[in-house]
A = this chain, B = another copy of it.
Amino acid sequence: MTTDEAVGQRIDAALDVPSGSPARMDTPRPGDPRLARLSLNQKTVDGWSLREAVDGCVAAGLPAIGTWREPVAEVGVETAARWIRDAGLRVSSVCRGGFFTGAGDLSRSERHDDNRRALDEAATLGAPCLVLVPGGLPAGDRDLRAARDRAAAAVEALVPHALEVGVRLAIEPMHPIFAADRGVVSTLAQALDIAEPLPAEAVGVVVDTFHVWWEPGVEDQIARAGGRIASYQVCEWITPLPPDALLSRGMMGDGHIDFAHLTSLVTAAGYTGDVEVEIFNADVWAAPGRDVVETLARRYVELVEPHL
| A interface residues with partner B (beta carbon < 8 Å) | 137, 142-144, 148, 175-177, 179-181, 186-187, 189-190, 213-216, 237, 239-241, 243-245, 255-258, 261
Contact = CB atoms under 8 A, between A and B. Distances in A.
A218 to B, nearest CB: 9
A282 to B, nearest CB: 12
Given A237-B180, A240-B245, A256 B137 contact: yes
A137 B215 CA distance: 15
Given A176-B177, A181-B240, A245-B245, 7 more contacts: A137-B256, A142-B258, A148-B216, A177-B241, A180-B237, A186-B214, A186-B215
Given A177-B241, A237-B180, A257 B142 contact: yes
Contacts of A148: 216
A187 B258 CA distance: 20
How many copies are assembled? 2
B216 A180 contact: no
Given A176-B175, A176-B176, A258 B144 contact: yes
A261 B180 CA distance: 16
Contacts of A240: 181, 245
A143 B181 CA distance: 30
A186 B186 CA distance: 12
A133 to B, nearest CB: 16
Contact of A256 (B142, B186, B215): B142
A216 B214 CA distance: 15
A300 to B, nearest CB: 17
Contacts of A215: 176, 186
**Which 4 residue pairs across A and B have the least CB separation, nearest first?**
A243-B243, A179-B214, A142-B258, A180-B256
